[in-house]
C-alpha cells in the first residue's frame, strides 16, 4: 500500500526536523494500526508515512511486533496521566474521584469512537502468546487494581466487585459505541456507572 498515493491512508507526521525518526515511526504506526488494523498495514507503508525507510525502522525496532508493542506502551503512558493527576489531588475525597474516573472515560469514549487501542489489538491478534498481549494484560490489570483501591478508599461495600463492574461497563460501552454509534446504549455510560457507584457507596446523607 502506498501511503502518499492514497487519500484514505494519508498520514501527516509532524515536521521532520522537529521530531526524531523513532518518534515519527511510532506516531505514524499507531495511527495506521488504528485506521487499517495491525495486519492491514506493513512496515513499508509505516516507513513511507514516517518519511523514513525500512532500514531506519529496523534499526529502531527489531520487528513489526516490537513496534506494535511500543505503540501500545505509549497508549498506556498517556492513559496513566489521569491516575497521576488523581493521586496528586489531595483536596478531593475518594468518592468524588470515582466520579472523576467516570467523567474521564465518558469524555474519552466521546472523542475516541474507534474504541480502545489496547483491546482492539488483543481482539485482532487473538493470540495470548503475542508480546503485545502481555503489554495489554499488565496495563488492564494495573488499571483495574488502582480502581479497586479507589473504590476501597471511597468506602464501597464490595470494592473489588464495584471495580470489576465499572470496568465491564466501560469495556462494554467501547464495543457498543463501535457497533451502534453514539446514539446506542453506550451514551448511558455515565448514568450506568453513577448508578452502580451509588449502589455500592453510601453517603452519610443516605443513612439519615
Q: What is the pLDDT of residues 8-48, one digit of tens each?
A: 345 544 445 567 899 999 999 999 999 999 999 999 999 99
Any idea which fold 16-60 has? Arc Repressor Mutant, subunit A (1.10.10)
Residues 6+ apart with CB under 8 A from 41: 1, 29, 32, 33
pLDDT digits (tens, 9 = 90+) for 66-100: 999 999 999 999 888 989 998 888 888 999 999 99
Could you tell me the pLDDT band of residue 207, with boundaries at 50, 70 and 90?
very low
pLDDT at position 1:
45
Portions of the chain given CATH number 1.10.357.10? 65-203
Report which DSSP code applies to 7: T
Cα 100 to Cα 61: distance, rounded to the nearest angstrom: 37
- In our burial notation (b when 16+ CB lie closer than 10 A, e otherwise), range 183-207 reads eeebbebbebbeebbeebbeeeeee
Helices (H), the chain: 21-36, 43-49, 54-60, 64-88, 94-111, 117-125, 131-153, 159-180, 189-200, 204-207
Portions of the chain given CATH number 1.10.10.60? 16-60
pTM confidence score: 0.84
pLDDT of 164 over the 50 cut: yes
- Residue among 123, 170, 106, 107 at smallest CA distance from 143: 170
pLDDT at position 17:
54
Any idea which fold 65-203 has? Tetracycline Repressor; domain 2 (1.10.357)
pLDDT at position 174:
93
What are the two backbone dihedrals, phi and then psi, of residue 61, each rounded to the nearest 5 degrees? -135, 135
Cα 70 to Cα 72: distance, rounded to the nearest angstrom: 5
pLDDT digits (tens, 9 = 90+) for 100-152: 999 999 999 988 878 889 999 999 999 999 999 999 999 999 999 999 999 99
Report which DSSP code applies to 14: P
Amino acid at each position: 500500500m502506498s501511503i502518499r498515493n492514497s487519500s484514505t491512508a494519508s498520514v501527516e507526521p509532524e515536521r521532520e526536523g522537529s521530531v526524531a525518526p523513532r518518534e515519527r515511526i511510532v506516531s505514524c504506526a499507531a495511527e495506521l494500526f488504528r485506521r487499517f488494523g495491525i495486519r492491514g498495514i506493513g512496515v513499508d507503508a509505516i516507513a513511507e508515512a514516517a518519511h523514513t525507510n525500512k532500514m531506519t525502522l529496523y534499526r529502531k525496532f527489531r520487528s513489526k511486533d516490537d513496534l506494535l508493542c511500543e505503540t501500545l506502551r505509549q497508549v498506556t503512558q498517556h492513559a496513566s496521566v489521569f491516575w497521576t493527576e488523581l493521586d496528586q489531588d489531595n483536596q478531593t475525597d475518594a468518592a468524588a474521584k470515582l466520579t472523576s474516573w467516570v467523567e474521564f472515560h465518558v469524555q474519552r469514549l466521546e472523542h475516541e469512537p474507534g474504541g480502545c487501542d489496547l483491546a482492539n489489538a488483543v481482539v485482532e491478534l487473538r493470540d495470548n502468546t503475542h508480546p503485545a498481549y502481555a503489554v495489554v494484560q499488565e496495563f488492564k490489570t494495573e488499571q483495574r487494581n488502582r480502581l479497586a483501591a479507589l473504590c476501597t478508599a471511597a468506602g464501597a461495600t464490595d470494592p473489588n466487585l464495584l471495580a470489576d463492574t465499572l470496568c465491564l461497563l466501560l469495556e462494554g460501552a467501547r464495543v457498543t459505541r463501535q457497533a451502534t454509534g453514539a446514539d446506542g446504549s453506550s451514551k448511558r455510560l455515565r448514568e450506568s456507572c453513577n448508578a452502580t457507584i451509588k449502589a455500592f457507596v453510601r453517603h452519610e446523607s443516605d443513612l439519615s
